[in-house]
Amino acid sequence: MIKVGIIGYGNLGQGVERAILKQDDMEVFGVFTRRPKEGVKTLGATAYNMDELMNYKEDIDVLVHCGSSEFDLRDQTPELVKYFNIVNSFDMHALIGEHIDEVSKNAADNKKSALVSVGWDPGIFSMQKTIFDAILVDGTTQSFWGHGKSQGHSNVASKVDGVVMARSYSVPNVDNIEKFKNHEGIDVSTNHYKDVYVVAKDGADTKQIEADIMNIEHYFKGSSTNIYFITQEEMDRDHNTWHQGGEVIRSAKTSDNIKHTLDFKLSLDSNPEFTSSVLVAYTRALYRMHLRQEYGVFTALDIRPRDMSSKSYEQLIKEML
């Protein structure tokens, strides 16, 4: 039985616990939180305060870190990998290489295994893009996100001074999607825009909030973004679900007049619950890799699909090939 520790118990952390409850070979050792543990209501797992984590180094097979990429994963993963095998969903694309380097400094030397930047993008989208590119080398690939709510963008916008709550939506340019599928040229700078809905604190400077959100590097800076200030009642009524989606499209050719379009698409009722399920599958893979003494830092591009599955290799051959 794989014993999993969960760091953080927001939407993603709860989703990881929910996903593990569906697994026959995994169990939640505990949830570790910065909030007072007495106030954390789990689906059955024991809640611990974060400062208790080091007491259980020998009891936890893999940690799944469900914190924020911006505020938690960047600093905590390189330190925690000294003591734990760890999985995270670090999603700041421009900084993934730097994050891998930082985690690498401590992973292999401590005979630990880390799997970073796994979710659906980066993660399974990254794997799909690699496969498409390897098969059809003469072409281009585009990723489109939305329409739906982004966890990471919503989180960083919510941390801005004067903000009570913020929810950010990715909105794809459907005309660009159809043109790209038809092998027509597109202006990729117009592939997306963002709609951000904000509840501001009483008396807060909304102009300053807007400027601060638009200046968040790696999330909103330089992007096409609309910001709308609404009431808490409107937020609770109109923005209380976490639907999301996206697709990876490869437009390519194998001969001058032979064209191909490859499309991998997701439509999700709950972005956090799906991302959590991805993390749990990769947690199993990392555990197996660690048992094989594969130490160091890995990404979705390094993982064998058979390691992610709870089914036997014989069963996979029978059902999947």
Radius of gyration of the chain (CA): 21
For 263-313, how does the pLDDT look when each residue is reduced to its tens digit (9 = 90+)?
A: 999 999 999 999 999 999 999 999 999 999 999 999 999 999 999 999 999
For 89-113, how does the pLDDT look when each residue is reduced to its tens digit (9 = 90+)?
A: 999 999 999 999 999 999 999 999 9
Handedness of CA 181, 95, 291, 295 (dihedral sign): positive
Query: β-pairing, 47-49 with 26-33?
Result: parallel
Which pair of structure tokens corresponds to residue 198?
A: 């904000």
SS3 track for 135-197: HCCCEEEEEEECCEEEHHHHHHHHCCCCEEEEEEEEEECHHHHHHHHCCCCCCHHHCEEEEEE
For 70-80, how does the pLDDT look when each residue is reduced to its tens digit (9 = 90+)?
A: 889 999 999 99
Stretches in the chain below the pLDDT threshold 70? none
Residue that is written with structure tokens 């014989």 in the block = 314
**What pLDDT sits at residue 298?**
98
**What pLDDT sits at residue 137?**
98
Which pair of structure tokens corresponds to residue 80?
A: 């925690």
**What pLDDT sits at residue 307?**
98
Are 69 and 94 in contact by the 8 Å Cβ rule? The answer is no
Segment 56-59 long-range contacts (CB within 8 Å, at least 24 positions apart): 56/5, 56/29, 56/30, 57/83, 57/84, 59/3, 59/29
**What pLDDT sits at residue 182?**
95
**What pLDDT sits at residue 71?**
85
**What pLDDT sits at residue 187?**
96
**What pLDDT sits at residue 70?**
86
Q: pTM for the full model? A: 0.93
